[in-house]
Every structure is written in structure tokens, then in C-alpha cells.
Amino acid sequence: MYEDINRVPVMHGDEQKSYYKWFNRELPEIPQWKQDILKDPVKDPSIALSIHDKNKLFDPGELPTEVGIYFPEEGGAIIHNQQFFPNATGAMGEWWFAWFPGDDMRFQIWDPLEHRHSKLPELGAMERLRDPNVPVAEKSRGLLVRALESGERGSETYNISDLYFMDPAEAGYDAEKIHTDACSFLLCCNVFIYTPAGTLPAFGTHFWRDVEGGCQMRTFFWVGYQVINGEGKCLAPKGVTPPLPALVRTLRHNYDEYEFLAQILPDLYAEEKDNWAN
């Protein structure tokens, strides 16, 4: 279904990298139930997960609803998604978020239709990622990743985002519950998205839990929010919400990139888990 969509351009020489083979793979279709959500994405805000209740993620089972777009009363918006990773574990997800920032091609094999560049603007960041003495669980914490991605399949118009990967404890999460049966891995970040219309803040979380047959990842984006001193803060004026078409594009992009990643993560991890060099 993606044959007529241009893939992002790659740098000369990237085709020699061991993981380049994943760039030209046949990409999976988005499940029908997710396509149906895109047609009717706005859900009842009273059952959305408030940023102030984010530690409910550690509760057994699932929350009342974890898919769609919500407009909370205090302002901004919330985007929820779920992704099942067959034959994967949270440890693989933890490795992935420490591994992909080290090279553009790694970012591009994640989503060959929309991911252009992933850079590390801070001095010493690359050395930390490659340092064998830094545990995988700590490599991404405190990392600033500058991503260039389109958000539209095959588009040549890109937005820049700064993602500040945080220590979950500093973000106000119950960190002692991570790496347990309740949560095998948790990644969270303050985000600034730079668009022609202005800068949009957000706070994102990917919550991984090992389950039978693989791993369940639950994604939550609180758009118009940041976590400051461990507390979620709505920076959007009350009643002011991001435009729905932009939120739908973000949700659809999230569907794409994690369906695409779920397709390759176990095999990629097996082949590259010790490859921290370019």
C-alpha cells in the first residue's frame, strides 16, 4: 500500500550499514481498528488519563480507554495510543530508545516514510551512548534528541522537534515500579515542536509492559503540557486547543512509526544490540 509514497532520502554510504536492509522492507498496513479511530478520533474527555494521574499507568490491566484524542477542560489535548510488539520485551524497547539516536539511518529505518534526521546537539551525548560502562537503562536519560520528521507520509515538509528524555523519577513517576511486572520500561520526555505556526510544548510517555506473546506499549501525549519539577503543568490557556487536523496527523504518525517498529524490533535487537558504533 506504500509503493507510490516516496521514502526519505538517505546519506551516501548509509547503504553499507548493517541495518540498512530494514529501510527498504515492505511496511505493514495500519490495523483497521486504528483506521476507524482516525475517522472518529475525539473521545469523552472525562475518561481520559489526566497528566496529574499519570501514575495510574502502573495499575493492573488497562484504563477505561487508551485510544483516541481528548480535549480536557483545563486546556490543551491528550493523544492516546496502544501498540502490541509481538515477541518483544520492554528491555528491547529500552535498548531501542538508547540506540536509535546514534545515527540518522537508525531513525530512518524506524519510519522510512516520515523520519528524516535525528541529531544530538549537546556535547558528549554521543560518547555517553557509546560508553560500555553506562547501563542501557541510563543511556537515554537526560538526552536531548533533535528530530526532523514530516508527520505526513512522503511529504517533503518537515517539522523540528526537541525531545528531552527524562529520568522517570524526576518526571514524577513511581520509578520503583519500573523494571517490574507492572512496567518493564518507561520512557518520558518534555517535547517542543517547532512549526510555522509557532512552538508547541508537549509531554510524552511510552509505557511498556511485558505480556503473553510480547510487549504492550501504551503511549500518552499531553499536548500543551510540560512536566516541571515533577508536576504536570498545562501551558495552554483554558479552552484553547490545538487544531484537530494536526492532532489527527500526530495520532496517525504515531500509528505508523510504532506499527513499523513492531515489525522489526525483535530481529533488529538480536542483530544489533551490541552495535553502538555507526
The answer to whether 252 and 38 are in contact (CB under 8 A) is yes
Distance CA 256, CA 275 (A): 26
Q: Is the pLDDT of residue 241 over 90?
A: no
pLDDT of residue 257: 96
Q: Is the pLDDT of residue 39 over 70?
A: yes
pLDDT of residue 215: 98
Q: Is the pLDDT of residue 80 over 80?
A: yes
pLDDT of residue 152: 79
When pLDDT is cut at 50, 70 and 90, the band that residue 77 belongs to is very high
Taking the mean position of all CA atoms in its chain, how far away is CA 158? 17
pLDDT tens digits along 156-199: 788 899 999 999 999 999 999 999 999 999 999 999 999 877 88
pLDDT of residue 1: 64
Distance CA 203, CA 145 (A): 14
Q: Is the pLDDT of residue 10 over 70?
A: yes
Higher pLDDT, 7 or 238: 7
- Grid cell for residue 202: 508537549
Higher pLDDT, 159 or 204: 204
What pTM did the predictor assign?
0.95
pLDDT of residue 216: 98
pLDDT of residue 238: 80
Average pLDDT, the chain: 94
Q: Is the pLDDT of residue 150 over 90?
A: no
Distance CA 135, CA 255 (A): 29
The answer to whether 112 and 261 are in contact (CB under 8 A) is no
